[in-house]
Structure 1
Amino acid sequence: MATLFQIPQNHPQRFTLHNEVHARAPSIPSLPVRASYLAVSLSSDEKNQERKHLVALCQRFGSVPPDPDVDHFSASFDSFQMSWEQHGEFSAYIFYAYDTTQEPFAEPALKKVPVDWLSQIGGKVMVAAHASIVSPESIHYHDEMDLSPISAYFAGNAIVGAKVSGGAASVFTDFRIHVDGFSRFLVVNHDLRTAQAGRLLHRLFDIEVYRVMALLAFPIARKLYPELKKADRQLYAITNSMTQADNDDAKLLDELTALAAEVENHISSHQFRFAAASAYYQLVGQRLVDLREVRIQGIQTLGEFIKRRLEPAMNTCNSISHRFNLVSERVSNASQLLRTKVDIIIERQNQGLLASMALRAKMQLRMQQMVESISMVAITYYAASLIGKIAEALHALGWHVNPEFAEGVSIPFILIIIAISTKRIHKIIANTTDS
């Protein structure tokens, strides 16, 4: 009997997150099996309609529909089984059928799906593939046989393949889209369990869709290459002009600003696609590792084939993205250098202006001192004249005062008083300015 403990309250998403590892477990009840895979890119409106379309299929066969907020769903119908997953950029459908036929791709699982419902799936097809897990006896396969009969299932195309899952199966494909619009995977079952078979099919379909999704960045990289060369030439022309003595710095700064805006626009417009390509490429590599391939003599493994074809495209995408970032850094550095140069020129102009202002202030000070001296003489003259008038008035009243003598004697005293007063005023002004 289970013991209940008094532990803190559960996080609202504890059980959802815990059960996430079991949510997409591939379930194949029996072997052999045929599977058809569709990956479609969808707009936001098409994603909303997609759920209604799934509900319509479930109602048609009397099955329980998916919850409104789920992003994966599995169900069994009358003659086929289906699993659905909604990813960030695409949705994936896998249809399974278990009634076997002699030819691996003669009756694909998709034929079991209602035609009218299938034709109304929204979006644009990114990947469409058929897979068939067969026994060695059904196609007369053995390890030492010539692979020409296997190639016949792929319209005579050159095939790639390997033993996978520790030798429990052999996988063959040609990575081509056939006349029916589907690529093909043939899995020869040596000792697969049903759970292994489900995981193997998922890995093969993941490799196909992630490979295609990674390559979405490649046309963009090729389109951006001329723009990259153009930006590089423009930056060289601008930096070369910066070294000339008679250049127009304001014009160069405007050109650099326009170039920086153009480069940043390219980066912001396509950075997501390049980052997604890198992530998808890593997923392809991880799924190939999970296959645990062992070489079949005479043909390439899936990993070798994909690496040889996919790696150059991914290197091109990474190179374009990296070089755009480098151009952006170089434009930023050039802008900083030019702005520094402009700032230095402005600083020199400001220093010249300040020196001119200081010279004018010094001249004004000299003129002010001259005016002060003249003013002191004028004030002394008027003050002495005033004393002389006072002495004349006193003399008229009968005082024994000589107006001329009084006026002459007062001049030195008036000068001393004016000089002391002027000095005090200067001191007060100086103290007020310092504070």
Structure 2
Amino acid sequence: MLRDHPLRVELCNELHARPFTQLAGPETITHLGMLTNEEMAEEERMHVGLLCQRFNVAAPSPGIKHFMADMGHFFLVWERHTEFSTYTFFLNRRDADRKDRGRVLSKKRNLEPFVKAAIDLVPDDWLKAVPGERLVGVHLELEGPDSPERTMEKQVAFFPSGNLSACVLRGGLAAVWMDFSINDDGYGRILVKDYGLKPRQLGRTVQRLLEIETYRMMALLSLPLAQQYGARLAKAGRVLTEITTRMTDQREVDNEKNLLRELTELSAEIEQAAAATSYRFSASQAYYELVKQRNQKLKEDYMDGFQKIESFLDRRLSPAMRTCEAMGLRLDTLSKRVARAGQLLRTRVDIQLEEQNSALLKSMDKRARIQLRLQETVEGLSVAAISYYVVSLIYYLSKGIKSIGFGLDASIVAAISIPFVVSALWLGVRRVRRIVERDSQD
């Protein structure tokens, strides 16, 4: 038997972890995007488990990030992402009418779009306790090929905002109307008309439309940050220009300490802004790329009188993303400018320190020469003093010898000994000094 890598099965299953739902109209779908954090993943799984318990359905296993379940009244798809989670509720109108559970409207009214939402069948108390904050909320109505045809004016009337885009998909196999708005009920609206897509193709199309709505909202999270820090970065740029100008002013030559303090404070402020925005800006760019990717896979064609989804997003979402990108580049440029200014200032301080050290070394060298001369003078005086004492000892020694009968004149002996004593002492001191100098060099 071959030994498998411990992650082989997990990595293989990753490609199948988020399957598309097979759909057939008429279907009403409610999609929620809840902004959370990674620490809340287990809390979300437990909350989905509570809903499963109510409808006698097996709860999601610990650690999973994608869960699908038929609750009887509706179908639920829960997905856990890095910083948000999505809850998508599906309700097939024909199945709901056939089940006749008394919780949907009559068959005649039930076929009208946006009259009944899938989320209406979800218990209110459970909805109120969903972890996180709602960032995305959209109702999607999927109509089958046998649904009644309407005039364009009536189609547009389903969107209260009046500001919508529409397009034809896959050469006329489907049509989409989408308003990218939040209506009075707190939800946006998407209307999809199916003219012949297969159930799996229809599921992929609906998934991509919902992902476009979700990812474009996640991408726009960085825009308030860009607007918030724009004025602060403009002020920081002016302060940096002022500091750089003062660095070249001769009157500020001796004021490096204050300049360095101001530059350090400015650098700390810029680094704080970078720490607060860098992750959000990079995440928004990644979400924006996902929006463009999902949009390309829709394969849109123009519908007379309307903008395509791609054109609608390009006109409104792209400028916001360029603003965030420009703010990120501006922050990076400011950080580099501050670093260069700090390096220049430190270089100038280092040069001044080197000049001060050079002057200090010259002063120390001068003092050392003076000390050497003084030492040589002291050595001469010490030789004379020691010689005086040694000759005095010789004088007293000679005088004592004379007193016991030897005919020596103490004064003459002392006088004769002076040159020998002085020479010996001078040579001895000189030898000691050479030994000390040689040891200090080693």
Q: Give me the TM-score of the superposition, normalised by structure 2.
A: 0.90
**Count of aligned pairs between the two proteins:** 425
**Residue matched to 1:259:** 266
Judged with a 3 Å threshold, the aligned counterparts in structure 2 of structure 1 residues 426 and 49 are, in CA distance, closer, same or farther, namely closer
Q: What residue is the counterpart of 2:97 in the other structure?
A: none
1:280: how far off?
Answer: 0.9
1:52 aligns with 2:57: no
Take 1:168 and 1:280, find their aligned partners in 2: how far apart are those partners? 28
> In 2, Cα distance between the equivalents of 1:196 and 1:81?
18
Name the counterpart of 1:3. none
Unaligned runs of 5+ in 2: 95-109
* Structure 1 position 221, deviation (Å): 0.7
Letter in 1 for 2:30: S
Given candidates 53, 63, 67, the residue that maps to 2:57 is 63
Alpha-carbon distance in structure 2 between the residues aligned to 1:169 and 1:302: 14
Task: Find out whether 1:249 has 2:243 as its counterpart.
Answer: no
SS at match of 1:337: helix
Question: In the alignment, what sits opposite 2:66?
Answer: 72
Separation in 2, partners of 1:158, 1:264 = 41
**Shift in Å at residue 423 of structure 1?**
2.1
1:158 deviation in Å?
Answer: 4.1
Q: 1:276 to 1:63 in 2, by over 3 A?
A: same
| Alignment partners' CA distance in 1, 2:303 and 2:424 | 119
Residue 113 (structure 1) aligns with: 122
Q: Which amino acid aligns with 1:123?
A: G
Query: Offset of 1:46 from its aligned partner?
Result: 5.6
1:97-154 deviation line (CA, Å, top 9, x unaligned): 112543222222223333443343233211111112213552316xxxx733321222
CA change 1:164–1:417 in 2 (3 A) is same
Q: Is the 8 A contact 1:84 1:94 kept in 2?
A: yes
> Do 1:35 and 1:108's aligned partners in 2 also have CA atoms closer than 8 Å?
yes
User: Share of identical aligned residues, percent?
Assistant: 38
C-alpha spacing 1:88/1:372, structure 2 compared with 1 (3 Å): same
Matches within 5 A, 1:75-86: 75-86=69-80
Q: Which runs of 4+ in 1 moved over 6 A?
A: none
Match of 2:316? 309
User: What is the CA–CA distance in structure 1 between the aligned matches of 2:36 and 2:333, rounded to whole Å?
Assistant: 34
Question: Which residue does the alignment assign to 2:401?
Answer: 394
Residue 304 of structure 1 deviates from its aligned partner by 0.9
Whether contact under 8 Å (2:32, 2:86) holds in the other structure is yes
1:151–1:158 contact (8 Å) kept in structure 2? no
Is 1:140 the counterpart of 2:154? The answer is: no
The whole-number CA distance in structure 1 between the counterparts of 2:360 and 2:125 is 83
| Pairs within 5 Å for 1:246-325 | 246-247=251-252, 248-325=255-332
The alpha-carbon distance between structure 1 residues 114 and 411, as it changes in their structure 2 partners (threshold 3 A), is closer
Instruction: Check the 8 A contact 2:161/2:179 in 1, yes or no.
Output: no
Kindly provide the amino acid, as one letter, of the partner of residue 109 in structure 1. Answer: A
Deviations 1:54-97 (A, max 9, x none): 22221222211111221211111223211111112221111111
- 3-state SS in 2 of match to 1:83: strand
In the alignment, the residues of structure 2 paired with residue 82 and residue 214 of structure 1 have an alpha-carbon distance, to the nearest angstrom, of 25
Is 2:27 aligned against 1:33?
yes
Deviations 1:311-360 (A, max 9, x none): 11111111112111211111111112112212222222222222212211
Matches within 5 A, 1:24-423: 24-28=18-22, 30-42=24-36, 47-100=41-94, 101-140=110-149, 147-155=152-160, 157-165=162-170, 167-247=172-252, 248-423=255-430
Tell me how far apart the structure 1 counterparts of residues 126 and 376 of structure 2 sit (CA, whole Å): 103
TM-score norm. by structure 1 comes to 0.92
Q: Residue 129 and residue 382 in structure 1: after superposition, are their counterparts in 2 closer, same or farther (change >3 A)? A: same
Indicate whether 1:7 and 2:14 are aligned: no
User: Aligned equivalents of 2:293 and 2:251: distance in 1?
Assistant: 58
Aligned-partner SS, 1:246: helix
RMSD value, Cα? 2.0
Distance 1:411 1:155, change over 3 A: closer
SS for the counterpart of 1:96 is: strand
